[in-house]
């Protein structure tokens, strides 16, 4: 059964102890994690057992998964089972086990983007006994609501310039946006000073963002030897491989949009006029080089490589750093001939 993200938690009022399995999927990883934390918060008891599986493990060890579901703990009242990265081969087992789930057990299946042809998605959407909840990227409407909530939290009113900046610079991933919003709350909560655009801009350019920006510039400037060194700095800043890859996907999309616009109009300033967020003036010259030196066919190859790498990272959690490094090094190696 398909439900909207804002309907998810009203379902728990009706479930009581007979919980329906839930599928959380979509591109907004931060929103998925936020909903997972909310689900955990519903079980206001210390006697909650939380267990995690992967789809690959379940496929290889179905009897262990089945035993875990059927086993009632002597020390916990309820059990919460997370299944990350499900695979289509899990469907037959799910169909069998989900028919007779014990009370007080909630199963949450977590996936990234699933196509309409996905067997996992079809299983949850076509059954009245299971819940399927898509977690889409945050848009301007969601960002506006987050900004309104932020104003209430710090008890201040933002000017149009600040609202416009936040609307176009908050990430479409809820987790990244929340980190930025938390920094603004720390700056202004309980303070008498009024919010200023220059202060908020400086918050968005903290060390982690600078390292992330640096690795992007290194990759697209054709410096494969520096990729590993700076990539480790980004990892140390607490930024995961999927976030890094998504940042590069966004950057290469901006390059492609500009390259297409340049074919129609040779003026670079006009070509970048429609980009949102706009190109930061300090990065404009380097971005222009990336748009003019990379051939558009290579830009498309880079985009495809990054998308496939994101999928590989989500399929094999333990090799995400390696997949990320290989992809970034490959792009940088491709670009070396254009920047030497």
Task: From first to last of the 340 residues of the chain, give the pLDDT tens digit.
Answer: 898 877 777 777 677 677 899 999 988 888 888 899 888 888 766 678 889 999 999 999 999 999 888 887 667 778 899 999 899 999 999 999 988 888 888 999 999 888 888 999 999 999 888 999 999 888 888 989 999 999 999 999 999 999 988 887 787 778 778 888 988 998 898 888 899 998 888 777 555 566 778 889 999 999 898 888 888 877 776 677 888 898 899 899 999 999 998 888 788 888 888 787 778 777 888 899 999 999 999 999 999 999 999 888 877 767 888 999 999 999 999 999 988 7
Q: What is the pLDDT of residue 3?
A: 85
Please check whether residue 326 is in contact with residue 224, taking contact to mean a CB–CB distance below 8 angstroms: no
Phi–psi pair at 207, nearest 5 degrees: -60, -40
Q: Are residues 116 and 11 in the same domain?
A: yes
Q: What is the pLDDT of residue 46?
A: 61
Q: What is the pLDDT of residue 231?
A: 85
Q: Are residues 224 and 185 in the same domain?
A: no
Q: Which two tokens stand for residue 288?
A: 């222009």
Q: Are residues 183 and 233 in the same domain?
A: no
Final residue in a domain of this structure, among 204, 223, 242: 204
Final residue in a domain of this structure, among 104, 134, 164: 134
Final residue in a domain of this structure, among 151, 180, 204: 204
Phi–psi pair at 78, nearest 5 degrees: -135, 160
Q: What is the DSSP string of 224-259?
A: HHHHHHHHHHHHHTT--HHHHHHHHHHHHHHHHHHH
Q: Are residues 239 and 156 in the same domain?
A: no
Burial letters 271-284, b for 16+ CB under 10 A, else e: bbeeeeeebeeeee
Q: What is the pLDDT of residue 8?
A: 79
Q: Are residues 50 and 84 in the same domain?
A: yes
**Among the listed residues 218, 224, 229, the one whose alpha carbon sits nearest the alpha carbon of residue 251:** 218
Q: Are residues 193 and 212 in the same domain?
A: no
Q: Are residues 238 and 303 in the same domain?
A: yes
Count the domains in the chain.
3
Question: How many CB atoms sit inside 10 A of residue 9's CB?
Answer: 13
Q: What is the pLDDT of residue 73?
A: 67
Q: Which domain holds residue 98?
A: 2-134
Q: Are residues 230 and 162 in the same domain?
A: no
What is the CATH classification number for the domain harbouring 78? 3.40.50.300
Q: Are residues 52 and 165 in the same domain?
A: no
Q: Are residues 253 and 269 in the same domain?
A: yes
- Whole-model pTM over 0.75: no
């Amino acid at each position: 059964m398909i439900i909207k993200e804002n309907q998810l938690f009203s379902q728990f009022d009706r479930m009581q102890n007979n919980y329906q399995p839930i599928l959380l999927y979509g591109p907004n990883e931060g929103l998925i994690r936020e909903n997972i934390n909310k689900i955990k918060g519903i079980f206001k008891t210390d006697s909650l057992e939380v267990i995690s599986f992967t789809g690959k493990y379940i496929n290889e060890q179905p009897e262990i998964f089945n035993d875990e579901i059927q086993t009632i703990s002597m020390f916990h009242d309820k059990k919460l089972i997370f299944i990350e990265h499900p695979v289509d081969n899990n469907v037959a087992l799910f169909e069998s086990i989900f028919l007779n789930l014990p009370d007080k057990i909630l199963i949450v299946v977590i996936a990234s983007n699933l196509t309409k042809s996905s067997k996992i998605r079809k299983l949850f959407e076509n059954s009245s006994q299971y819940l399927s909840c898509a977690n889409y990227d945050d848009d301007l409407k969601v960002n506006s609501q987050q900004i309104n909530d932020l104003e209430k939290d710090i008890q201040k009113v933002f000017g149009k310039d600040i609202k416009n900046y936040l609307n176009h610079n908050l990430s479409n991933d809820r987790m990244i946006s929340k980190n930025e919003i938390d920094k603004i709350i720390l700056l202004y909560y309980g303070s008498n000073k009024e919010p200023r655009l220059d202060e908020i801009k400086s918050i968005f350019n903290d060390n982690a963002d600078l390292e992330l920006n640096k690795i992007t510039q290194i990759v697209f400037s054709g410096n494969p030897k520096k990729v590993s060194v700076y990539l480790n700095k980004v990892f140390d800043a607490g930024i995961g491989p999927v976030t890094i890859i998504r940042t590069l996907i966004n950057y290469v999309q901006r390059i492609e949009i500009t390259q297409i616009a340049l074919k129609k109009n040779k003026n670079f300033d006009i070509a970048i006029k429609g980009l949102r967020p706009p190109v930061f003036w300090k990065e404009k010259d380097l971005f222009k080089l990336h748009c003019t030196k990379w051939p558009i066919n290579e830009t498309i190859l880079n985009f495809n490589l990054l998308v496939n790498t994101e999928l590989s990272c989500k399929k094999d959690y333990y090799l995400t750093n390696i997949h990320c490094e290989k992809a970034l090094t490959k792009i940088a190696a491709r670009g070396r001939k254009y920047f030497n």
